[in-house]
Amino acid sequence: MNYLKFNFSIKNKTKLPFLAACVIILLLGSCAPDISPNLGVKPPAMGVTNEIVIICDQDIWDDYVGDSLRYYFSSAFPILPQPESVFDLKHYTPEALIAQPIRKELRTYLILADLSDNISTTSNLLRQDLGSTKVQEMKAGNQLRSVVGRDKWAKGQLLIYLFGFSRDELVKTIREAYPAAAKRVNAFDEIQIDQTVYQKGENQKLKKEIKESMGIDIKVPGDYVKAIQDENLIWIRKDYDDMISNIMLHKLKYSSQKQLSKEGLKAIRDSLGKQYISTDLEDTYMRTNDIDLPMFTKSINLNNYYALEARGIWDIENDFMGGPFISYLVHNPNSNELLYLDGFVYAPGKQKRDHMQYLEHIFSSVKF
């Protein structure tokens, strides 16, 4: 049996440790004419992924409207050992933006306004951006009170306007607009995530080896190295001082639809964990821990291939190690085979949300 024992001292690199100048306004899902042309020179927007700057009046932020916004936009990212939110929220009033103009140069904004309040600074800001005609049209109609803008104060900005003509209506807008708004923010962040994941280019040698062994194309980041290879398995990994990111690729025969089930995927994952992953302690191996947190699965379309996705946490039997994982079990339409992709992170005491998104981004490049 060919397996790898791990020294969990991450810093010990001598061993293999374990792991448009104008605001473009669009309805969420449709387009509308450009408004508020501004031909001045704008600085490039700055900021990090998954961060949303909330612009609203302080009383809106402090009351039940703000609670509703935080309920949706600060919900838990699935699934991590310690809770982390889907988005990191930062609140400014319009007055705070004026006091510190550099706050206008961030990447992603959500502007929240009750348009029944005629003296609200945020409501007046929204009316100015949308125009009185557009506001009246949306008040008279039944369409969702959400609008998307671009490049208001800096190049490369995304602005999402959520509004209502009462506070109760504003809460309804937040609830109904959240899925599309979150999807748009995630899509907006994709370019920055790609630049982060592939900041050192691609590992063309590993990419070629995976193609020859697994029969797939996958964009391998330049800072990943091969940890182990068997006939039907390749394990690649990236080591930092405080984090290890791992990807396992395994090819197996397709014999039954039962394999493409929650139980089937878990059986594959635990079999590989027991065969390949241990620590220096005796009788240790990786297992899926669906006792402390459930393992969630769903069917997805991965580049037009049917796949079963699983998210959960792993730990080490008879040791005190663990972390999150994301797995895909993909049916290869060109052969009677399944491809199993597993990404897992070991980062004790560190936040892991972004690293899981990076693994998901790498997996999204897979093609047979």
Identify whether 45 is part of a domain.
Answer: yes
Sequence-distant contacts of 358-361: CB under 8 A, at least 24 apart: 358/193, 358/196, 358/197, 358/245, 359/245, 359/247, 359/326, 360/326, 361/190, 361/193, 361/194, 361/197
Helix 121-130 × helix 132-140 angle, to 10°: 100
Residue 41 has what pLDDT?
86
Both 153 and 246 in one domain: the answer is no
Both 92 and 141 in one domain: the answer is yes
Both 104 and 239 in one domain: the answer is no
Both 220 and 346 in one domain: the answer is yes
Both 218 and 358 in one domain: the answer is yes
Both 26 and 166 in one domain: the answer is yes
CA angle 144, 150, 154 (to 5 degrees): 145
CA angle 100, 102, 108 (to 5 degrees): 115
Identify whether 189 is part of a domain.
Answer: yes
User: One digit per residue, pLDDT tens: the chain, 368 residues?
Assistant: 334 444 433 333 333 333 333 344 444 543 333 333 455 689 999 999 999 999 999 999 999 999 999 999 999 999 999 999 999 999 999 999 999 999 999 999 999 999 999 999 999 999 999 998 888 888 888 777 899 999 999 999 999 999 999 999 999 999 999 999 999 999 999 999 999 999 999 999 999 999 999 999 999 999 999 999 998 999 999 998 889 999 999 999 998 889 999 999 999 999 999 999 999 999 999 999 999 999 999 999 999 999 999 999 999 999 999 999 999 999 988 888 999 999 999 999 999 999 999 999 999 999 99
Say how far apart CA 69 and CA 103 lie, in whole Å: 21
Helix 167-197 × helix 353-363 angle, to 10°: 70
Task: Report residue 112 as tokens.
Answer: 């929240």
Both 129 and 261 in one domain: the answer is no
Q: The CATH number of the domain where 211 resides is what?
A: 3.40.1000.10
Least Cα distance to 236 among 252, 251, 220, 258 occurs for 220
Both 235 and 120 in one domain: the answer is no
Residue 268 has what pLDDT?
97
Domain boundary among 175, 197, 219: 197
Based on the structure, what is the number of domains in the chain?
A: 2
Both 63 and 90 in one domain: the answer is yes
Q: What spatial distance separates the first Cα and last Cα of the chain, rounded to whole Å?
A: 29
Residue 242 has what pLDDT?
87
Identify whether 215 is part of a domain.
Answer: yes
Domain boundary among 136, 169, 197: 197
Both 282 and 336 in one domain: the answer is yes
Least Cα distance to 301 among 364, 358, 220 occurs for 364
Global confidence as pTM: 0.88
Which domain covers residue 261, as residue numbers? 201-363
Domain boundary among 197, 227, 251: 197
Both 143 and 279 in one domain: the answer is no
Both 163 and 29 in one domain: the answer is yes
Buried b (16+ CB within 10 A) or exposed e, 235-257: bbbbbeeebbbbbbbbbbeeeee
Task: Report residue 133 as tokens.
Answer: 């005609």
